[in-house]
Structure 1
Amino acid sequence: MPQTNSAPVSHPDLAHLREGFAGGVIDTADPSYEEARAVFNAMIEERPRVIAQCETVGDVVRALGFARENDLEIAVRGGGHSVAGMGLTDGGLVVDLRRMNAVSVDPEAMTARVAGGATMSHLDRAGEPFGLATTGGRVSTTGVGGFVLGGGSGWLDRKFGLACDNLLSAELVTADGALVRASADEHPELFWALHGGGGNFGVATSLTLRLHHLPSVTAALLLWQADAGPEVVSAFRSFMEQAPDEVGGGVLYLTAPPEEFVPERLVGSLTCAVLVTYAGGELAAREAMRPMLELGHAGELIVEVPYAELQCMLDDPPGLRNYWSAEFLSEFPDTAVELFCAHAGRMIVPSASQHVLFPQGGAVSRPDTDYPVPWRRALWCVHPFGLWENPADDERAQRWARDLRADMLPWSIGAVYLNFIGDEGDERIVAGLGADNYRRLAAVKRHYDPDNVFHRNHNITPSRPG
């Protein structure tokens, strides 16, 4: 495994890397270095020695070869949303894919070919003129590659399945510089592993995804005072148990923003909110949402928009400190409701933090595959999503997330969507993927990355031969 090397990379070596490199090569002396290394989580302080801003597959091959020749640890960056900062490496080389962001839509085949550095915004905007979309992350700035390879949960998953369910093929550059295409017919075991195994097996330079007809979506954001939370959460639980697949969303506690639709008495205070999304127009959406609309909320915003617009409306602010975690639950009884609501007051207010309960079910729970995403069988996900400014709040934010997880353990299935968590240890990764899946993934890892070059991720250790 390449180790972090403290000696500076010599100028002749970087000159050799830059020779024939279509993109840019940035080192610590470059004026754009700080901007180039910035990621979504402001807590991350890793300082790579080299950032290879790749524009072509050939650039990726060259960057990997250079890193291995110089014994540099490798990190792969797409959207830069990893809460643990896995898209950076301290003293190593970053394969930065952000310049590789093209998306090509085939409206007849209803597919999209997505370059490895594209964000959800690139994909959503490319599909919008054709009224086509697929399950994406819950914001527009998420990188498509890491999102899909990790499984991919979003507002549309109850209707269209997880993002990885819509993965038709992928092209990867492996640790030895080979370009491999994985699909149901080509490298099928690798293709299976890419449905939840993350970036363990190579650098994904292209993904082909299935698209679905979706001219518009409707979203309703409904607000209540925080003390109404237990009643609201219970009502949302009952609502989602009967909701059609078109309905998604979540119930969350947040700091109410100073927006026109927010009552003045709620602005800046802890507020219970329900977001209901609907894969379709407002008329049908209002009928489907009726139980929540009749609950007596204090503020509301209801809009019908293209899917890409919905995604942009929900973007989290960059430059904040982050800590997230999650537990996936088999049920959410009254005791869990009480504990969930009680913990909301311990989050940081005012801040951009969110105390979230997501429903699953629908197409998420009806797979005809054995992909390594066992968390899909859970009915609920509790997701403490911490974003704050002051480093003095670090310990409080992390304790809030951990304590909420601990209180949800009686109903946890153990498996977890790894994109929702940071570095919580190897045991959490094994449990998250499922022990049997992990053993199978470790065998795939041994075949495609026996030296564990790609270990800056939720790492799967290559199994030993035999």
Structure 2
Amino acid sequence: MSVNVSIDTISHLRTTLTGSVIEPHDEGYDEARRVYGGFDRRPVAVIRPADVDDVVRVVIFARETGLELAVRGGGHSNAGHSVTEGGIVLDLQDLSEIEIDVEGRTAWAQGGATAGAYTAAAGAHELATGFGDTGSVGIGGITLGGGIGFLVRKHGLSIDNLLAAEIVTADGEVLVADESDHPDLFWAIRGGGGNFGVVTRLRFKLFPLPSVLGGILVLPATSEVVAGFIAEAEAAPDELSTIANVMPAPPMPFLPEELHGSMIVLAFLVHSGPEEEGDRVLAPFRALATPLADFIQRIPYSAMFPPEEHGEQPSAVASTMFMDGVDREMADTIISYLESSDASMRAIQLRVLGGAVTRVPADATAFAHRDSKIMVNVAAFYEGPEEKVVREAWVADFMAAIRQSDSGAYVNFLGDESPDRVRDAYPGETWNRLRAIKAQYDPDNFFHLNQNIPPAAG
């Protein structure tokens, strides 16, 4: 596609929009183009639409001019898909309104709302929807890929609680998709990522949640503790979801200096069941070893999404997959690999799935990994291109050493990888069905700055 942009083209577009247009010569441009992950790309404009009509105009403009369009919610794409070099960034941050229907236990939220803002708004009414584990993540992006967070075993993925979505398609049409209207599109966006349009509003179920027993538990990372933690997480009731990070201890103020650099399990645990059962459910985790720190307490669910520090983000290489299990031998391998690297920070993250996730048929949504047991992420920080190569090799070797029978991948955690890795996210017939729906709604692959699903031929 040829690009047709004159000096005055963007200026003319600015006059047609209610929202803001930030160009390279404007104050705040460098901040506006900044995303997580250190991607240094310079778009011709960052556009912050004020309403769905602005989104339509930008989509049509990008198509007519041939400019690549990056859609940004929270800007957390591991592959840098939230920003483009020489194209347009459609930054949804000003589309952030959240409407809570307390009696109906549903919410409409605009696509630029963040998980933290949504959780706080719902929590004011002692209600919740499960998203991820980071407050600054945009609910649009995390939902379109699936949504695995602190309530996943109790209430399922974010897409399992999605009731409808307003979408601007590649031809500039505004559709509302749900189980009755455009059901094929509704199926596709529940796991298929940003391939099918710009999602400007989403409607979710809400669940009563006055409080949770949750927070951080830090344990020494021996093979017995790591394997035991996973076993206890698998055996726990669905009301408990966990995230275990096995890593060298950073210089956190609540850990003695002599422990800095030693291997720890830094775990997040959230029990969303009856208050009187929480301590009993968490007791086996505390019994694995004498805790180095225990910040688990009765808190509002929104407290699991604290404000984040802004500033320069470290650069990291990472990879993701699913595992079948972690026994003592596998835990030995995990700790051995972590000890073999001299990266300033390296970690493996283990999230036990199951529960409500498994009670949705694999073909009910475009997220097909319903029977996957444990989601895994391996990451290492780096400084400079030479060190990046070393860290990439370490991550690849680590992943190969722990790979088991599950060849799938979670699309939201994929980086800038290969088409084969995108296929891993959509196994079997899921891939073919997504390509057919892509051909219907975006036959020219206009929305391609994503973990791309090419339209089916013909």
1:257-288 Cα shifts (integer Å, max 9, x gaps): 44454233223544233332211476522110
Unaligned runs of 5+ in 2: none
* Comparing 127-136 and 293-302, the one that deviates more: 293-302
Of 254, 266, 273, the match for 2:247: 254
Partner residue in 1 for 2:15: 19
Unaligned runs of 5+ in 1: none
Of 27, 50, 58, the match for 1:55: 50
Structure 1 position 199 matched with structure 2 position 184: no
Tell me: CA distance 1:304–1:400, structure 2 relative to 1, closer, same or farther (3 Å): farther
Partner residue in 2 for 1:439: 432
Asked whether the equivalents of residues 227 and 326 of structure 2 are also in contact (C-alpha less than 8 Å), the reply is: no
Of 28, 33, 37, the match for 1:32: 28
Structure 1 position 320 matched with structure 2 position 318: no
How much does 1:135 deviate? 1.1
Helix, strand or coil at the partner of 1:325: strand
Which residue identity does 2:132 align to in structure 1? G
Partner residue in 2 for 1:84: 79
Partner Cα distance (1:346, 1:116) in 2? 42
Helix, strand or coil at the partner of 2:431: helix
Aligned residues: 456
Helix, strand or coil at the partner of 2:56: helix
Of 301, 304, 311, the match for 1:307: 301
Partner residue in 2 for 1:131: 126
Asked whether the equivalents of residues 42 and 86 of structure 2 are also in contact (C-alpha less than 8 Å), the reply is: yes
Structure 2 counterparts to residues 313-392 of structure 1, below 5 A: 319-347=313-341, 350-351=344-345, 353-368=346-361, 370-387=364-381
How much does 1:412 deviate? 3.7
Partner residue in 1 for 2:148: 153
Partner residue in 2 for 1:402: 396
Tell me: CA distance 1:384–1:169, structure 2 relative to 1, closer, same or farther (3 Å): same
How much does 1:12 deviate? 2.2
Tell me: CA distance 1:151–1:439, structure 2 relative to 1, closer, same or farther (3 Å): same
1:20-76 Cα shifts (integer Å, max 9, x gaps): 31111112222211100000111x122111211111111111111111121111111
Partner residue in 1 for 2:457: 464
Partner Cα distance (1:388, 1:14) in 2? 37
Of 260, 269, 277, the match for 1:284: 277
Partner Cα distance (2:310, 2:342) in 1? 16
Partner Cα distance (2:83, 2:74) in 1? 12
Structure 1 position 211 matched with structure 2 position 212: no
Asked whether the equivalents of residues 139 and 316 of structure 1 are also in contact (C-alpha less than 8 Å), the reply is: no
Tell me: CA distance 1:197–1:275, structure 2 relative to 1, closer, same or farther (3 Å): same
How much does 1:251 deviate? 2.1
Tell me: CA distance 1:205–1:313, structure 2 relative to 1, closer, same or farther (3 Å): closer
Task: Please give the TM-score of this superposition, normalised by the length of structure 1.
Answer: 0.92
Partner Cα distance (1:257, 1:211) in 2? 36
Task: Please give the TM-score of this superposition, normalised by the length of structure 2.
Answer: 0.94
How much does 1:15 deviate? 2.2
Aligned-CA RMSD value:
2.1
Partner Cα distance (1:236, 1:50) in 2? 48
Helix, strand or coil at the partner of 2:329: helix
Tell me: CA distance 1:381–1:318, structure 2 relative to 1, closer, same or farther (3 Å): farther
Tell me: CA distance 1:195–1:218, structure 2 relative to 1, closer, same or farther (3 Å): same
Partner residue in 2 for 1:421: 414
Identity of aligned residues (%): 37
